[in-house]
Amino acid sequence: MNLPHFNYHTPGSLDECAALMKTFREQAVLVAGGTDLYVRMKHRLATPSHVVSLGRIPGMHQISFDPARGLTLGAIVHLSVLAGSHLVKEKYPALAEAASLVATGQIRNMATLGGNVLQETRCLYYNRSILWKKGVPSCIKRGGTVCHSVPQSKRCFAVYQGDIAPVLIVLRGKVFIYADKEAEEMPVEDIFTGQGKDPFKRTDQKIVSAFTVPALPYPSYTAYRKYRLRDGIDFPLAGCALALQMDGKKIMDLRICLTGIGSSPILIKQAIEIAHGRELTPTLAKDLSDAAFKEAHPVANLGGNPDRRRLMIRQMVQEMLNGAAAPKEAK
């Protein structure tokens, strides 16, 4: 499959990049590593006339840490760099773990943090070739009127399968969005719409330039688990991120976020209501895993069985919580 014709631009600053996006509007798309975009272009799922690269913009490759502000990550930090960073491994191990589980080493060398967070939703009936489109009625995400996975539905059920976003969400991460010489900061979860067809809030002529994660109160426990059919390459068929903060034996804060289950990351909002002030016991771990199970409603539009994907959510959440309790029991 060949790429369609397009004009390639390499701006040297955020202002220059924003000006190009403002000029070309819906005809333009941003690219960093291109591991998601170029595949979609080959399938003619995206056909931009202008591709604007972020690769030459200063500062967007950097990782830095300040005790007061926390971690700052440029949007085009490569996932292999994120996974291998001693700073990230030491202070935010779940973030490094999630990055290390994306695809393969070769892809992680090209793929970027921003690209993984902002990747398009996926579906067996959408991520197909041009020939498939000719033989099957277009689905809602392709501009048609039918959802092949839920035929009676009037909305798209394409699935968000990013590994990094759920970890950033449980860590209370924020995203910087640049436009008109100003940067807007918002929680990572606020960039998602929850809609499979258009998974991100409209950011016309805006550029995701960086992510920040606050310094973690001590003691903290973070983890990420991913269910997939193969140990490498595959997107998550179900994934769970967890961030837990304790005061002695009492839980002070708990955030659980799911991926690979719905059209956006799913933050289990009742988790802290269930857990606050309680001791982390196997009974509480089961209650929380049941709460996550109730929030997970996958449909049959990925390679894995939806019932098994849902059950894996329960299992992974329970295993992570029991893992958080285990070191304390050992003492």
Q: Would 239 be classed as within a structural domain?
A: yes
Distance CA 32, CA 60 (A): 10
On whether the CB atoms of residues 167 and 256 are closer than 8 A, the answer is: no
What residues contact 174, with CB distance under 8 A and at least 6 apart? 185, 186, 187, 188, 211, 212, 213
Q: Pull the structure tokens for residue 254.
A: 């708990």
For residues 312 and 162, give the distance between their C-alpha atoms in angstroms, rounded to a whole number: 17
- pLDDT score at 327: 56
In a domain, 87, yes or no: no
Mean pLDDT in residue range 157-183: 95
What is the arithmetic mean of pLDDT over 145-173?
Answer: 96
Question: Is position 270 within any domain?
Answer: yes
For 92, the 3-state DSSP assignment is: coil
Round to whole Å and give the CA distance between 165 and 95: 9
Q: Are 176 and 168 in contact (CB under 8 A)?
A: no
With a cut of 90, say whether residue 108 has pLDDT above it. yes
Q: Which stretch of DSSP H or E encloses residue 96?
A: helix 93-100
Structure letter (DSSP) for residue 110: T
- The predicted-structure confidence for 134-144, as pLDDT tens digits, reads as follows 888 999 999 99
Answer yes or no: is 269 within a domain.
Answer: yes
With respect to residue 235, please indicate whether it lies within any of the assigned structural domains. yes
Q: What does the alpha-carbon distance between residue 48 and residue 182 come to, in Å, rounded to a whole number?
A: 26
Confidence check: pLDDT of 317 > 80: yes
Residue 132 confidence (pLDDT) = 82
CA distance 104 to 96: 15
Element (H, E) at 317: helix 306-330
Q: How long is the chain?
A: 331
Distance, in Å, from the CA atom of 81 to the CA atom of 61, rounded to the nearest integer, reads: 9
Separation between Cα atoms, residue 64 and residue 20, nearest integer Å: 28
Range of the domain at 273: 220-325
- pTM comes to 0.96
Which pLDDT value is given to residue 331? 34
State the Rg of the chain over Cα.
Answer: 20
Asked if residue 74 is part of any domain, the answer here is no
Angstrom distance (rounded) from CA 30 to CA 38: 11
Instruction: Read off the CATH number of the domain in which 278 is found.
Output: 3.30.390.50
Sign of CA dihedral 11, 193, 63, 116: negative
Share above pLDDT 90 across residues of the chain, in percent, rounded to a whole number: 88
pLDDT by residue (tens digit) across 232-283? 889 999 999 999 999 999 999 999 999 999 999 999 999 999 999 999 999 9
Query: Does the residue 313 lie in any domain?
Result: yes
Residue the block writes with tokens 């604007």: 52
- Confidence band of 203 (pLDDT split at 50, 70, 90): low
- Residue among 168, 146, 166, 170 nearest 156 (CA): 146
Q: Which residues pair with 159 in a beta bridge?
A: 122
- Domain count along the chain: 1
Q: Which pair of structure tokens corresponds to residue 194?
A: 């929850």
- Residue 63: inside a domain, yes or no? no
Residue 199 has pLDDT above 90, yes or no: yes
Q: How far apart are CA 160 and CA 168, in angstroms?
A: 15
CA distance linking residue 34 with residue 204, whole number of Å: 19
